[in-house]
C-alpha cells in the first residue's frame, strides 16, 4: 500500500529540469517550452518547471550530446535526488540525428546517462512531448523504475 501511495504522489507531482545538451537547432527546446504554456498546460498533470537539479524529478534533455556537455550532463544527473527520470526529446537527443558522426558529438543521451522515455520527432510537437510525460507517468504508476 505504501508503494502505491508513493507512486501515485510521484506521478502527480513531476518537477522538470530542462537541459539543452549541446548540438541541434533548438526546435525541440521551443516545442518543450510550448508544452509548458497555458495552451497545452502540463501543470494540470502536476508537471512543474524548476531551475535546480536538486529539486527535479525529471530531466528533459534536448539536442545531441557534445563532448563538452557529456560530463556536465552526467554531473547534473547525479545531483538529482532518487528516484530520477530522464526523457530524451527529439531525434538529436535520441541518436544525435544529423549530427551523428560529427567530431565533437558523443551521440544520444543514452550514451551518457540512462533514459526512461524517448520522444521522437524533429522537432516533436507539444502533443508528442505530453504523450512522453504520460508514458513516464504510467511507468511510475506501475513502479517500473529502480530506486
Could you state, in chain order, the average pLDDT of each consecutive group of 10 residues for the chain (147 residues)? 72 89 84 92 91 95 93 96 94 89 91 96 94 93 75
Q: Can you name the residues that pair with 105 across neighbouring β-strands? A: 66
Q: How far is CA 132 from CA 5, 22, 42, 59, in A?
A: 22, 21, 12, 12
pLDDT of residue 131: 96
- Domain residue limits, the chain: 2-142
Query: Closest Cα partner for 59 from 36, 30, 88, 35?
Result: 88
Spatial neighbors of 131 by CB under 8 A, at least 6 apart, are 119
pLDDT of residue 77: 96
Q: What is the pTM of this model?
A: 0.90
Q: Scanning the structure block, which residue is given the C-alpha cell 500500500? A: 1
> In CATH, what class is 2-142?
alpha beta
pLDDT of residue 74: 96
What is the distance between the alpha carbons of residues 87 and 109, in angstroms, rounded to a whole number?
9
Amino acid at each position: 500500500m505504501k508503494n502505491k501511495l508513493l507512486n501515485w504522489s510521484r506521478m502527480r507531482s513531476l518537477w522538470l529540469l530542462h537541459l539543452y545538451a549541446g548540438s541541434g537547432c533548438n526546435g525541440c527546446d521551443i516545442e518543450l517550452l510550448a508544452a509548458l504554456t497555458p495552451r497545452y498546460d502540463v501543470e494540470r498533470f502536476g508537471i512543474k518547471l524548476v531551475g535546480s537539479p536538486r529539486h527535479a524529478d525529471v530531466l528533459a534533455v534536448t539536442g545531441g550530446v557534445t563532448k563538452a556537455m557529456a560530463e556536465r550532463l552526467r554531473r547534473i544527473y547525479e545531483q538529482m535526488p532518487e528516484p530520477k527520470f530522464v526523457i530524451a526529446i527529439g531525434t538529436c537527443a535520441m541518436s544525435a540525428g544529423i549530427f551523428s558522426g560529427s567530431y565533437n558529438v558523443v551521440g544520444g543521451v543514452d550514451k551518457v546517462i540512462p533514459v526512461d522515455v524517448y520522444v521522437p520527432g524533429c522537432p516533436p510537437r507539444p502533443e508528442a512531448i505530453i504523450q512522453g510525460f504520460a508514458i513516464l507517468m504510467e511507468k511510475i504508476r506501475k513502479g517500473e523504475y529502480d530506486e
